[in-house]
Amino acid sequence: MTSSSPAPGPLQLCYENVNGSCVKAPYSPVSRILLYALFGFGAVLAVFGNLLVMISILHFKQLHSPTNFLIASLACADFLVGVTVMPFSMVRSVESCWYFGKSFCTFHTCCDVAFCYSSLFHLCFISIDRYIAVTDPLVYPTKVTVPVSGLCILISWVLPLVYSGAVFYTGAYDDGLEEISNTVNCIGGCQTVVNQNWVLIDFLSFFIPTLVMIILYSHIFLVAKLQAKKIESTGSKTESSSESYKARVAKRERKAAKTLGITVAAFMISWLPYSIDSLIDAFMGFITPAYIYEICVWCAYYNSAMNPLIYALFYPWFKKAIKVIVSGQILKNSSASLNLFSEQM
């Protein structure tokens, strides 16, 4: 937590000549520039990287599939983190000051939590999608349709927004901690102190879906391994056209599951330090040093910038889509029908 008591003398305040103002962080000008560059780069990458993902999937007809719509919606959540959360958190982290008003502080915190849980819900539904695709690839198209994907997207947005709004706009999050909250939130501050009950609920809300994803992906990779061995053992034999098709479909689904498994792993690694720190902090009297807290927060924020990089590394179609978008070919009427899957599966 940042220091909340007003300090006289040489210390700089967020609002000079205002009683109860928060103290500015004592960073040197060089340190401030470096921190702004680091945090700003993450925000820019989150905004433009996820914007490219959304444009690619929504524009190119070949990418219109239930899984890709979930990925586009996930990219939208990460995009909104880059637009509504990261720029303002950047100023708060570097300056230790909040210059955007108390009402926007509540809105900012609400968006922060809502978009985090939205990402988590999207990833959980993607895990279920991949599980069905790998374990039963031929039946998958009849089970997971666009309307089913749309329902999953709706749930992934509505529940986090309702939960976050209910907690932060009712003030339930700091019940019993009003005294600490008033001390921490000096003038020019936007620190959220959450009581033990809500911290525990938040942790379980993160831990349970994460555990489900770990179990599903463990089973996915076990099935994928068995499928690969089966294909190798029958490779020398003459395959029927149906068996050959089934093998190609299984290979494609395994490849997609591997890439999305990396996305899930990146999310868990990014958010786990913050989740554990929040849990420990609430039960140990908010003892986390400010710099540790900021490191955990920005590890979590940077996850919103990582997914487009993962797609760029592992999805050839995304690389090709970026070239079409950046070169301006997307403005052609026929661009929506371009073939992005030139490689043989």
- Confidence category of residue 6, pLDDT binned at 50, 70, 90: very low
Backbone angles phi, psi at 270, to 5 degrees: -70, -40
Judged against a pLDDT cut of 70, whether residue 344 lies above it is answered with: no
Judged against a pLDDT cut of 80, whether residue 162 lies above it is answered with: yes
Q: Who has greater pLDDT, 233 or 68?
A: 68
Judged against a pLDDT cut of 90, whether residue 36 lies above it is answered with: yes
All structural domains of the chain with their residue ranges:
29-233+242-332
CA distance 277 to 270: 12
- Res 47: pLDDT: 96
- Res 7: pLDDT: 42
- Res 342: pLDDT: 61
Judged against a pLDDT cut of 80, whether residue 258 lies above it is answered with: no
Backbone angles phi, psi at 187, to 5 degrees: -70, 120
The answer to whether the beta carbons of residues 67 and 129 sit under 8 Å apart is: yes
Judged against a pLDDT cut of 50, whether residue 211 lies above it is answered with: yes
Residue matched to tokens 């999937």: 57
The answer to whether the beta carbons of residues 119 and 307 sit under 8 Å apart is: no
Judged against a pLDDT cut of 90, whether residue 80 lies above it is answered with: yes
- What b/e string do you get for 172-187 counting C-beta neighbours within 10 Å, with b at 16 or more? ebbeebeebbeebbbb
Residue matched to tokens 């031929």: 138
Of 61-70, 152-161, 327-336, the poorest mean pLDDT is in 327-336
CA distance 266 to 261: 9
Choose the CATH number for 29-233+242-332 among 1.20.1070.10, 1.10.760.10, 3.40.50.1220, 1.20.140.10.
1.20.1070.10
- Confidence category of residue 149, pLDDT binned at 50, 70, 90: very high
Backbone angles phi, psi at 109, to 5 degrees: -65, -40
Secondary structure string (H, E, C) spanning the chain: CCCCCCCCCCCCECCCCCCCECECCCCCHHHHHHHHHHHHHHHHHHHHHHHHHHHHHHHCHHHCCHHHHHHHHHHHHHHHHHHHHHHHHHHHHHHCCCCCCHHHHHHHHHHHHHHHHHHHHHHHHHHHHHHHHHHCCCCHHHHCCHHHHHHHHHHHHHHHHHHHHHHHHHCHHHCCCHHHHHHHCCECCCCCCCCHHHHHHHHHHHHHHHHHHHHHHHHHHHHHHHHHHHHHHCCCCCCCHHHHHHHHHHHHHHHHHHHHHHHHHHHHHHHHHHHHHHHHHHHCCCCCCHHHHHHHHHHHHHHHHHHHHHHHHHCHHHHHHHHHHHHCHHHCHHHHHCCCCCCCC
Q: Who has greater pLDDT, 233 or 345?
A: 233
The whole-number average pLDDT for the span 14-21 is: 80
Judged against a pLDDT cut of 90, whether residue 138 lies above it is answered with: no
CA distance 80 to 101: 20
- Res 49: pLDDT: 94
Residue matched to tokens 């959220």: 192
- Res 1: pLDDT: 39
The answer to whether the beta carbons of residues 321 and 62 sit under 8 Å apart is: no
Judged against a pLDDT cut of 80, whether residue 176 lies above it is answered with: no
- Res 154: pLDDT: 96
Of 16-30, 99-113, 155-169, 331-345, the poorest mean pLDDT is in 331-345
